[in-house]
Chain A
Amino acid sequence: MKNRTTVFQKAEKQELSLRYKRRGRVKEWFIEKFILLNATLAIVAIILIFVFVGKEALPVFTSPEVQKEANLGEFFLPQKYSPDSSPNIIWQPVSQRPKYSVIPLIIGTLKATIVAMLFAIPLAVAAAIFTSEFAPNRLKEIIKPVIELLAGIPSVVLGFFALIVMASFLQSVFDFTFRLNAINAGIALGLAVIPIIYTVSEDSLNAVPKQYREASLALGATRWQTAIKVALPAALPGIFAGIVLGFGRAVGETMIVLMASGNAAIVSWNFGESIRTLSATIAAELGEVVFGSPHYHALFFLGALLFVVTFIINFSGALYVEKLKAKLTGAKR
């Protein structure tokens, strides 16, 4: 008798669990498809944006009417803007003779980005090393959220701060001729980039196995030596990934440079002079431009250029990180 009941119970239990499983599967199927749908939508949206920007930039290569004013030669090569002047590179699309050289804009973008990275990398990496290797736990719990809060500040606020406060301060210290210049914009950009580099670097430092440090300390190395010679190299791929992300942000960031850089497209390597970046140019001019004009398509060409540049940087950055990882782990995977 006893046996019988257990057999029955077992069968019942099995059926029940099967039913649950089946119901669970239906639910799971829906959840799975829902997530798939979301992922596809995100990807489709990105592809559509890419297609749209590409489509609007395309007349620069195909339409003879647009090419009369804006073509690759105009974009990248020095042009004779008036018969008696020497070849020059100028961005001045609203003029009797529109001038579409993107070189001043690329120089501007580079100058701002270089300053931003020079300012942000040492600070962010040093802060990450400090919080993960040296700071007592209580301090760490304050520092980390505060730096990460910096990422939550809207870029308009950062830009405004740079425009009103920082520019005057920097000018009084360094005596720049231009109040708004590449250094001012670059430092403001750096403030936006620091939390990105910091967060990623800190996470990758934390991910370094504890045994590494223990082994190093056991061999008699100081904490400083352990941090610099053991933890930092092991976390390097992650730190580099953070730097690449930060670089992408600095190149594409618009509002800060629009407000803090002065926006004059001057060609020079003097960092104390005003700059005009690719992104700020699009933001400032796209609102006004006559729909379908050469200027309109030229601005989309700038957009496509920006897209391609950030894509290449991120892609080559990712490749390099993989290589670095392989090197550090002995390339056995």
Chain B
Amino acid sequence: MKKLTLLIIGLILTSSFIFAAKNITLKGSDTLLILGQKWAEIYMKKNPGTVIQVTGGGSGVGIAALINGTTDIAQASRPMKDKEKENVLEKRGVGANEIPVALDGITVYVNEKNPVGKLTFAQLKDIFQAKITNWKQVGGKDSRIILYGRENSSGTHVFFKEHVLNNEDYAVSVQPLPGTAAIVNAVAQDEKGIGYGGVAYAKGVKEILIAKDEKSGYYPPTMENIISGKYPISRYLFWYTAGTPKGEVKKLIDWILSPEGQKLVEEAGYFPLPKEKSK
């Protein structure tokens, strides 16, 4: 009887050890969800036996999971806040490790039927703060502007606020939707709508050309424009681990930063890291 229990305990321990070694969880940003899934799919095909689970929920959710130790890697579309870094150190005993994995431009979408095709940075800020409320004011039809955004758990929400709104508040009338896909869907159905989100999701709606100011030209969110910085709203996408990555996790990270992994970044519609960043 004793032997049997020992055997069972031993089995459970070893099996959990094996699973712990081969199971990697990715959690966080909805922007990175598609890319994360793509990476996971190809990596699992090349390394049978490794299981990678990818879930979304927003950057904040992923980072919270990293703090609580329920994920190996947090995907984030914004850098971690200082408070969050402190929390990781406090709860996990090791510091947070930041790995930029891709570049992303924030695209501003309007309905395909909307005649407005370009905006300046300042106009964009005024629109999302409801200082400009009619499309007529930016050269469109005479109709109210309906704003779509992301919930405040989203890295995209925070990024847009920090970079476009100068860290001032959004207008109260911004309708937060769960996920960039929902915004694209909403704008596609709403002629008066405007929304923002990752480039990879932009299907069925029109992308707005953005200018830094009136003198500089208007640029679309293409790879050259984003890498050269001519398109003004771009950001790094990150992976976070608690402490320096080891074992399977390290292997995965090395692979996604390799030319092969970075090629998938392009396929998913994002932009690979500039050469010097991916050491």
Contact = CB atoms under 8 A, between A and B. Distances in A.
Given A92-B169, A287-B61, A178 B175 contact: yes
A90 interface: yes
A319 interface: no
Given A177-B144, A288-B64, A96 B176 contact: no
B175 A284 contact: no
A96 B172 contact: no
Q: Chain A: interface secondary structure?
A: loop
Contacts of B87: 290
Contacts of A164: 185
Contacts of A290: 83-84, 87
Given A92-B169, A264-B175, A284-B151, A179 B189 contact: yes
Contacts, number: 74
Contact of A263 (B84, B146, B175): B175
A274 B193 CA distance: 13
Given A93-B152, A95-B169, A168-B189, A288 B175 contact: no
Interface centre among B58, B60, B173, B178, by most chain A C-beta atoms within 10 angstroms, is B173
Nearest to B144: A177
Interface string B73-93: 000000000011001000000
Given A93-B152, A179-B190, A288 B173 contact: no
A298 to B, nearest CB: 13
Contacts of A96: 167-169
B174 interface: yes
Contacts of B185: 164
Contacts of B170: 92
B253 interface: no
Interface size for chain A: under 10, 10 to 19, 20 to 34, or 35 or more residues? 20 to 34
A262 interface: yes
Given A177-B192, A179-B146, A179-B186, A284 B167 contact: no
A94 B144 CA distance: 26
A182 interface: no
B151 A285 contact: yes
A284 B60 contact: no
A196 interface: no
A198 to B, nearest CB: 31
Nearest to B67: A291
Interface in A147-168: 164, 167-168
B152 to A, nearest CB: 4
A274 B192 CA distance: 14
A285 B64 CA distance: 13
A180 interface: yes
Given A285-B151, A288-B58, A92 B172 contact: yes
A288 B61 contact: yes
A127 to B, nearest CB: 32
Contacts of A285: 151-153
Contacts of B169: 92, 95-96
A287 B58 contact: yes
A264 B83 contact: no
Contacts of A273: 173
Contacts of A288: 58, 60-61, 64, 151-153
A274 B175 contact: yes
B28 to A, nearest CB: 11
A225 B197 CA distance: 60
Contacts of B64: 287-288, 291
Nearest to B193: A179
B57 A264 contact: no
B147 to A, nearest CB: 8
A262 B192 contact: no
A178 B191 CA distance: 11
A287 B190 contact: no
B192 A284 contact: no
Interface of A: 90, 92-96, 104, 164, 167-168, 177-180, 258-259, 262-267, 273-274, 284-285, 287-291
16 contacts: A94-B157, A96-B167, A164-B185, A258-B178, A264-B172, A264-B176, A274-B173, A274-B175, A284-B178, A287-B61, A288-B64, A288-B151, A288-B153, A289-B60, A290-B84, A291-B64
